[in-house]
Amino acid sequence: MSRDAQCCTTNLTSGIELNSAPAVSLKMNPAMKVHACYILGILLAIIVVLLTVEWGAIPTLVAYISFALTATSLLLAILAIAYSIYSNTYLSSTLAQFSSSSGALSASVFQLEAVSGALATKVDAIPASIEGVTRRVEDAHTLLKGLADRATDSSAVAGGKSLATPLKPPTSFLSSASNTGLFALYAAALAHAKGVGFDLQKVAQAVPLIGHEYAYGYLMATDAIGFIDVSLSHNVWTVKIPDPEFVTAINKAVDARIAQKRDDVKKRLEENKEALEAYFAK
């Protein structure tokens, strides 16, 4: 075997041994640190010597180096300014988002307070509503009792006995009535007081508040309950109110309803009352 072949074989064998050897730790020991330091020192010394020998003859080398350093400083300064502008812009955007989030949070807090206040008001109104329901139940009980008494009275009349006292409406009947229903009863009370019949359709034309169909149904329902007696013949209504106190209660309820309202509503109710009274004053 030749000398070159032996060298190639030796290198190949050593390469295989190096590749198959276990991994060496990368931690530098003190001896390697010393070698690295003096190698770097030698390299720096060589660079300085080369600069001095090769470029020392250039008279404007210092100016070139100064210019390079100045340009580098300017470039770094520009980069610093640009970065500071970017940082300030980002900071301003972040602060604006934080301010917007704070405003939205404050608005949500105000809305929550408003909802809490409204909820508290509704909760406070629950006892009054329950009381109103209780009162209506009591009125319904009174009304049913009165209807039962009326049925008993009808039976007594059929058997030849005397008729009991007329059915009295509950106290909330007039106060809970609609404006149209109340004024329809007021028309019936005026007709009863005059002892005359009336054409409900003509009354509705003279008094805008009284709708013909609504008033028709309301008076018929009141007649069915037994608070009034209605006779209808050829569109002429003849109304009798058995209880004189109910007539007085209707007049007071109309005045009270007008007194409760304000401004335009009060004025409109007064005008309808005057028109109704003028119709029956003919």
In eight-state DSSP terms, residue 236 is E
Extents of the domains making up the chain: 61-134, 172-280
Could you read off the pLDDT of 103-150 as tens digits, one per residue? 888 888 888 888 888 888 888 778 777 776 776 666 666 666 655 555
Mean pLDDT score, 224-233 = 86
Where is average pLDDT lowest: 43-57, 81-95, 254-268? 43-57
What's the rounded Cα separation, in Å, for the pair 256 and 273? Answer: 12
Q: Which amino acid is at 55?
A: W
Domain 172-280 adopts which CATH fold? Answer: Arc Repressor Mutant, subunit A (1.10.10)
Mean pLDDT score, 53-59 = 71
Say yes or no to pLDDT of 1 above 50: no
**pLDDT at 142 (0 to 100):** 64
Q: Strands 236-240, 229-233: parallel, antiparallel or unpaired by DSSP?
A: antiparallel
Say yes or no to pLDDT of 153 above 80: no
**pLDDT at 242 (0 to 100):** 85
Mean pLDDT score, 231-254 = 88
Mean pLDDT score, 61-71 = 84
**pLDDT at 92 (0 to 100):** 85
Phi, psi angles (nearest 5°) of residue 281? -85, -5
**Whole-number average pLDDT of the chain:** 78
What 3-state DSSP class applies to 232?
A: strand
Percent of the chain with pLDDT over 70: 76
Could you read off the pLDDT of 162-212 as tens digits, one per residue? 444 556 777 678 888 888 888 999 999 999 988 889 999 999 998 888 888
What 3-state DSSP class applies to 144?
A: helix
Q: How confident is the model at residue 245 (pLDDT cuts 50, 70, 90)?
A: confident
Q: How confident is the model at residue 33 (pLDDT cuts 50, 70, 90)?
A: confident
Mean pLDDT score, 38-66 = 80
Q: Do residues 173 and 147 lie in contact, with contact meaning Cβ atoms separated by under 8 Å? A: no
What's the rounded Cα separation, in Å, for the pair 95 and 104? Answer: 14
Say yes or no to pLDDT of 8 above 80: no
Q: How confident is the model at residue 226 (pLDDT cuts 50, 70, 90)?
A: confident
Mean pLDDT score, 55-80 = 84
R_g of the chain computed on alpha carbons: 54
What 3-state DSSP class applies to 56?
A: coil
